[in-house]
Amino acid sequence: MRPGPWICAFYLAAVAVFIFLPIVVLVEFSFQDGLIPVPPFKGFSLRWYAALFADRKLLDGLWNSLLVAVLSSLVATALGLLAAYGLARRRPRFAGAIQYFLMAPITVSYLIVGMGLLIGFNALGFGKSLLAVGIGHVVINLPLAFAIVYSQLGEHQANIERAAHDLGASDLQALLLVTVPMLWPALLAAFFISATLSWDEFVIAFLLTRFDVTLPVVIWNMLRSGLSPKLNAVGTLVFGVSIMLVFAVEFLLSRARRKNG
């Protein structure tokens, strides 16, 4: 009894409806001609998008989020790559313990990571800032980056590395010119996942920023003032941009694939 094609299609459609329901409602009520993004839909209006673009705080928050996401993900991926490489190629005696150590932050909720850093930074006189948030995000993303890269560092890459060494390459050259290109999908995945998690992360950003805040904190402050279709507009815009990005990537990839036959 293989599940027939209709059942499969129906199930996928049902799940899709579930997944997209809050999104569709979100987008619809971003055009609400009224103060409250709740049915009944009062009419089509772009005033909330206009309000959005006039909102300096929102735009700044967007920018800050991008900055922190990209930079912290780069650092997390780089550190994760180095750690995975070091662990895989040179099996130190306590490899298992080291693995647990590096993965440990995953078992701690963001709230706790944030509180720990808050208390620690203040004790050192190190103020709240986007940098502090960036550090917090590297803490939570490093284990993921490490795990993703490590799972892809296998023997066949080691063989090619050894070949490169025999041909005279230094460790660094072998790493950058041989291993990294082979690991490209894993590095991309690590970067992508880290950026995604950092971009939308709230608790650590909330605890560790003062005035330069990230988008989730701006949204949280806006939510404190009650519901408004302006928030729907933000959500819709972010969503729209993401879709465009994803499709752009897809397009580039499929074009490149076709080129390579």
Partner 1 sequence: MRARRGDGAAVRPLDLRRWALWPALAFTAVFFVMPLAGMLALSFTRPDPAVGATLENYRSFFEQAGGVYLKALWNSLAVTFWTTLVSIAVAYPVAYILAYRVPPRWQRLLLVLIVIPFWTSYLIRSYSWLLVLSEKGVISNALLALGVVNEPIGLGNSRGATILGFVHFFTMLLTLTIYANLVQIRESYRRAAADLGASAPRVFLYITLPLSLPGVAVGAFLTFVLAIGDYITPQILGGSKEMLLPQAIMLQVGRLADFPMASALSMVLMLVVTAAFLVFARWLRMERV
Partner 2 sequence: MSRSAIQASGLSRRHFLGATVATTAMLAVGRPGPSFAAGRELNALMWCDHTDAKLLEPFEKRFDVKINVKEYQETGAALAILEQSQPGDWDVFVVDSVDVMRVVARGLLMHLPDAGMPWRDIFPDLRQPKLHYKDGKLYAVPEKFGYNAFAFNNKKVDPGDMRRADVMWNPKYKGRIAVYDYYIPTMEMVALGIGIKPREMSTAHLPAIREKLLEIKKLASVIGDVPTVQNALVTGAADIIIAGGEFVTAGLVAEDPNLDWTLPKEGGIRWQQAIGVFAASKRKNLATEFVKYVVGPEGQAALATASCYWAMPANSKAALDEGVKKRLRWDEQPAFIANSYPYFIPDPTLDKEMLAVWQEFLQA
Picking from 97, 81, 64, 28, the residue whose alpha carbon sits closest to that of residue 205 is 64
Does position 237 interact with partner 2 (CB under 8 A)? The reply is no
Cβ nearer to partner 2, comparing 28 with 98 = 28
- Which one among 17, 177, 223, 252 touches partner 1, defined by CB under 8 A? 223
- Tell me how far, at minimum, the Cβ of 227 lies from partner 2, in Å: 6
Cα–Cα dist 243/103, whole Å = 31
**Contacting partner 2 within 118-157 (CB under 8 A):** 118-119, 121-122, 125, 127-128
Spatial separation of the C-alpha atoms in residues 168 and 129, rounded to whole Å: 45
SS3 44: strand
| 78 belongs to the binding site for partner 2 (CB under 8 A) | no
What residue 16 binds from partner 2, partner 1, none (CB within 5 to 8 A, per partner kind)? Answer: partner 1
Binding track, positions 69-108, relative to partner 1; x by CB under 8 A: ----------xx-xx-xxxxxx-x-----xx-xxxxxxxx
The Cα 236–Cα 4 span in angstroms is: 36
Distances from the Cα of 117 to the Cα of 22, 65, 107, 145, 208, angstroms: 34, 19, 16, 21, 8
Using rule CB under 8 A, residue 36 touches partner 2: yes
**Are 201 and 137 spatial neighbours (Cβ–Cβ below 8 Å)?**
yes
Q: Which is nearer to partner 2, 106 or 180 (CB)?
A: 180
Report the residue number, 12 or 36, with the smaller CB distance to partner 2. Answer: 36
| Span from 30-38, 43-51, 87-95, 164-172 in contact with partner 2 (CB under 8 A) | 30-38
Check binding of 168 to partner 1 (CB under 8 A).
Answer: yes
Our CA dihedral for 53, 54, 59, 61, rounded to 10 degrees, sits at -130
Position 238 contacts partner 2 (CB under 8 A): no
- The distance from CA 131 to its chain's CA centroid, rounded to whole angstroms, is 17
170: three-class secondary structure by DSSP: coil
Cα separation, 87 vs 150, in Å, equals 8
- Name, in order, each residue with C-beta under 8 angstroms of 51's C-beta and a sequence gap of 6 or more: 230, 233
Among 20, 41, 53, 63, binds partner 2 (CB under 8 A): 63
Does residue number 123 form part of the binding site for partner 1 (CB under 8 A)? yes
Query: 3-class DSSP state for residue 32?
Result: strand
**Residue in the block written with tokens 């230094």:** 170
59 makes contact, choosing from partner 1, partner 2, none, with CB < 5 to 8 Å by partner type, with partner 2
Question: Binding residues for partner 2, per CB under 8 A?
Answer: 34-36, 38, 56, 59-60, 63, 66-67, 70-71, 74, 118-119, 121-122, 125, 127-128, 181, 184-185, 188-189, 191, 210-211, 221, 223-227, 249, 252-254, 256-257, 259-260
